[in-house]
A = this chain, B = another copy of it.
Amino acid sequence: MQIRPATNADRDAIWNIFHEIIAAGDTYAFDPQMPREEALAYWFRADTHTYVAELDRQSVGEADGFLGTATPSPTASKQGRRIAGTYILRPNQSGGGAHVANAAFMVARDAEGAGVGRRMAEHCLTEARRMGFRAMQFNFVISTNTRAIHLWEQLGFKIVGTLPGSFRHPENGYVDVYVMYRSLLS
């Protein structure tokens, strides 16, 4: 798996993943109908560092839970590599709050279980430290997203706030949302 800064050539692959995630509507507070250009403008915002996780076909076949299909994946590249995930890293606030990073992660549904999220998160923490951020904060972790919460806790994040019923889940109705935080100084 290679994690690298995204380029304009990755926009189609990123949009495919982004759209798949927001259309499900159970992990992010984005409008499921958000248009492509608006989504990409958000993901490539001027203050944002954008990355992709790329798998080659061999590791695709080996990845636990990564289902190979006979038909080519819409995110497969011609070079035998495939974008399986994407993440962004940026200041959570401006001015006096710019020393705290924010990040968001998306993994293609058919790449879940292959460790793409964990590898991106570890990469992200390293990048954030390298850029001099003192901490990282997730503003809106939906409490039903237990896989993500488990990963963040394993990576040292703690729940520092609970927003009661702040997300309307498509199946579960109003559910709590967590604010999660970890220092990058230790």
Contacts and interface: CB of A to CB of B under 8 A. Distances in A.
Contacts of A43: none
B97 A29 contact: yes
Contacts of A160: 161-164
Q: Copy number in this complex?
A: 2
Contacts of A36: none
Given A160-B161, A162-B161, A164-B160, A95 B32 contact: yes
Given A100-B166, A160-B163, A181-B164, A34 B134 contact: no
Contact of A179 (B29, B32, B134, B161): B161
A11 to B, nearest CB: 21
A126 interface: no
A76 interface: no
Given A139-B139, A179-B179, A34 B94 contact: yes
Contacts of A95: 22, 25, 28-32, 34
